Each structure stands twice: as structure tokens, then as C-alpha cells.
Chains A and B, each alone.
Chain A
Amino acid sequence: MKRLFPILSVLTAVLLAYALYEALLVAPTDAQQGDVYRIIYYHVPSAWTAFLLFFINFIASIQYLASAKPSTKTAAKWIVIAIGVVGVIACFLPQVQHLLPKGMRPSAVATTVLAIPAFYFLIGKFFPGERLDMLALTSAEVGVVFCTIVLVTGPIWARPVWGIWWAPGDIRLTSTLVLWLIYVSYLVLRRFSNSAQTQMLAAALAVFGALDVPLVYFSIWFFRTQHPQPVIGGGGSMDPRMLQVLLISWMAFLCFAFLVCWSRFRLEVLRREIEEAHAMESLVGTGEAPSKASLPLSRSSR
């Protein structure tokens, strides 16, 4: 594992450099916007990566909440299976297809619905117990970084194209800002709350916060907005060469996000081990038997 990280880091750096080369030199210039449109090669992959990380945070938080009792865990498992099966079948029913926004492919919706049980069981398998909470924290923190990039690069693109930095009241922009604020609140809660219930409260906040992700994504279909229409999964008309560069760029950012999450996860594991050691050290000194509930939540190194 120790050797894998540097190898993956080098490969990711090469992929990021290649994506940059493709974005700046290979992708064709947009006829209307000129070269400034190339900002989408950083803006859109960052948004997709942030959504994916918030989705992982959502699933890990549900798993963490459900794991409090064996009965809740079983109930949650069957609810998730039901969501997957019913959701996929419903996407192909003509009555439901009627309700989908114009241009949205039922197969794209079905794939997204299917991702819920798939991620649920994969995350449950590879991140048991407290590791679920660590994964939730990791994905939220890295997701906020990517969401910050979306909120910074968006206005930089909007200024030359729209003539304004920000369109006040625009649902896509506002809901993205709200999403960012929700996850910043989540991180603030985790950083400053010293209660034994912090992890549970944060998980509950994350579940509600994740409800904003579909609102952000679907806002351009359901509301009038200045934001451009989606480039894939919604009948967009993007040049195939531009789309190819966009996907390469997203792959590069996904690899980068994976490495950052890996580092952040390791950091969290180490932090908790040290916290436990400090607690045990102080309890051994007082002659008490250490218990999990007696472990303090030191904030010095968070």
C-alpha cells in the first residue's frame, strides 16, 4: 500500500498534465465564447466530483445512522434494495417517463438510481463501524474543496460571458452556494462540537444536506436559469471532441480526488488512534479501566 500511493500520485500527475494539454491546446475553440469556455474543463469536472463526494458522504452517513441498531440496519438494507429495484423499473414506465424533464434520458436516471444500492453495499462492506464516520468526514471535506472551486471558477467564467460575476436569484447558482454552506456547517459542527452525539448529529445533517444535490442538478431543467444546459445525460449538443476532453479532465480530477481522500482518511485514522492513546494514557495514570465512552474528543489536531 505504501508503494502504491507514490505510483498513483505520479500517474495522476501525468493524467492531470495530459488533461491540461488537451483542454488548452487540443479542444476546439468555441465559436461564440472563444477561449474562455475552456474554464468548463475545470469547472464541470470539479462540480461532478463534488457531487460524487457528497453522494458518498450521504451513503456513509445513512449507513452510520442505520448501524446504531441491528433492526434499523436490516430495515435500511431492504429500503435501499427496494429503492434500487422500484426506481429502475419506474424509469422505463411511460407514465414516469412523461414526468422526466425534456431531454433527460431514462437510462441516465436509472443508472443514478442503481448507484444508490451499489454504493450502499460497497461502502458498507469496505468501511465497517467507525470507518463509516471517517469516510463521511473525508468525503465532505474534500467535496467542499471541489465545491469551492466550482463557486470560484463559475463567476470567473460568467464575467466575460454574461457581463456579471453572479446572477442574483438564479436557482442554480444559489442552490450551489447553499450546498456549499450546508457542508461547511457540517465541517464546522464536527470541528467545534465536543458532544458524544456529534457524529450522529453530523450524519443527520449530512442526510438532509444531500437533498440539496438533486436540487442543484435538476434546477436547470425545472426552473428558468441563466446557467448553460447540461452537457451530458440531458440531450446537450456538445462537440464530440470537447466532450472527450471534458471526460479526460473528469477522469484526471477523479484520480486526484481519490488520492486526496486517501490521504485525508489516513490522517483521520491516525488522529483517532492518537486520541485513544492519549485517553488511555491519562486513564492508566488514574488507575481507571479505559472505556470507549470515556475517550475525549481532542480538537488540537483536527
Chain B
Amino acid sequence: MNAMKFLLAAYIATWVIHGVYLGTLVRRFSRLRQQVKELKGSGFRRSAPGFPPQV
């Protein structure tokens, strides 16, 4: 039973670490999407063909 506790702890720790990292990726993506929106709003498209980048 004690061994199962350690096994469970290791498996949970693994997915918590992956989950936290994936969470930071999602947060960074949404921040960049926000920046793309702001650039679109500033009318930058006219001066830079090919912008905004595809999200």
C-alpha cells in the first residue's frame, strides 16, 4: 500500500509538471494573439504586406 502511494505520487507529479508547462504555453499563445489583434487594430497591415501572421 505504501509503495502504491509512491507510485501514484510519481505519476501525478509527472502530469502536474506537463500540465503546468502546457498551461504556460497556452498563456503565452493567448498573449501573442492579443498582440496580433492590437497590431491589426493599429492599421499596421497597410505598411507591412504579409502581416498579421497567421495564428
- A: which residues have CB within 8 A of B? 20, 33-36, 38-39, 42-43, 46, 142, 145, 148-149, 152-153, 156-157, 159-160, 256, 260, 263-264, 267, 269-271, 273-274, 277-278, 280-281, 284, 300-302
Contacts and interface: CB of A to CB of B under 8 A. Distances in A.
A144 B4 CA distance: 27
A293 B30 CA distance: 28
Identify whether the interface residues of A are mostly helix, strand, loop, or mixed. Answer: helix
Interface residues of B, number: 30
Interface in B6-33: 6-7, 9-11, 13-14, 17-18, 21-22, 25, 28-29, 31-32
Contact of B10 (A20, A39, A260, A274): A39
A148 B29 contact: no
A157 to B, nearest CB: 7
A300 B38 CA distance: 15
Nearest to A302: B28
Contacts of A263: 25, 29
B11 A42 contact: yes
Contacts of A35: 3-4, 7
Contacts of B9: 156
A260 B29 CA distance: 13
Nearest to A281: B44
A157 B10 contact: yes
A301 B28 contact: yes
Given A36-B3, A160-B2, A301 B31 contact: yes
Contact of B6 (A36, A267, A273): A36
Contacts of B21: 142, 145, 260
A281 B47 contact: yes
Contact of A277 (B14, B25, B29, B52): B52
Contact of B35 (A156, A280, A301): A301
B9 to A, nearest CB: 5
Nearest to B53: A273
B48 A277 contact: yes
Nearest to B52: A277
A281 B42 contact: yes
Nearest to A280: B48
Nearest to B43: A281
B14 A153 contact: yes
